[in-house]
Amino acid sequence: MLTREVRTEIEIAAPPQAVWDVMAALDRWSEWNPIIAGVELRGPLREGTRGRLMLELPVGGRQSLAVRLCTVRPPHELVWEGGVRGVVKGRHGFRLEETSKGTRLHHYEAFSGVLAPALVRVMRGWLGQGYRRLNEGLRNHCEHGG
């Protein structure tokens, strides 16, 4: 199966637990997140829970995406996946690494499926820019309270 990835990272002057606490408050993501306008889970923040993301896309505007939480390891990693089986699937993750200055956020998405190469080729610039904006929003919120 063909896979394409988009990766970004950023340094945040806050400990991993503080960053995790902001990320774990999914109902408040729209306060700092320019890409994900809302998150609704049908259960607790744990592996296997399903839900929906409301995304702000450059083409098509606001879109809803069904997701399933794959990895929930406080305060280290949060991963979900969603998409259309066999056509295109995204595995979106955040990994928090403690550093001497706080936290390094590794933010990535791996796309797979027959449309993954075309999707990433067309959207790579927007995805990278969008993920960097999300990272900066998270950093600003963690370091300055919004």
List strands edge to edge, sheet with 36-41. 3-12, 102-112, 88-99, 77-84, 61-73, 50-57, 36-41
Residues of the chain with pLDDT > 70, as a percent, come to 95
Q: CA–CA separation, 52 vs 38, rounded Å?
A: 8
| Predicted confidence (pLDDT) per residue in 59-110, tens digit | 667 888 899 999 999 999 999 999 877 788 999 999 999 999 999 999 999 9
Of residues 115 and 135, the one with the higher pLDDT is: 135
Which helix H or strand E contains 128, and what residues bound it? helix 116-144
Cα 45 to Cα 100: distance, rounded to the nearest angstrom: 28
- Alpha carbon 129 to its chain centroid, in Å, reads 13
pLDDT in tens, 119-132: 777 777 778 888 99
Query: pTM (2 decimals)?
Result: 0.89
Tokens at 43, concatenated = 């259960």
What pLDDT does residue 146 have? 61
pLDDT given for residue 1 in this prediction: 46
- The SS3 assignment for 104 reads strand
Sign of CA dihedral 58, 3, 10, 25: positive
Domains and CATH numbers, the chain: 3-144 (3.30.530.20)
CA-based nearest residue to 27, from 4, 10, 45, 9: 45
Helix (H, G, I), strand (E, B), or coil: what is residue 63? strand
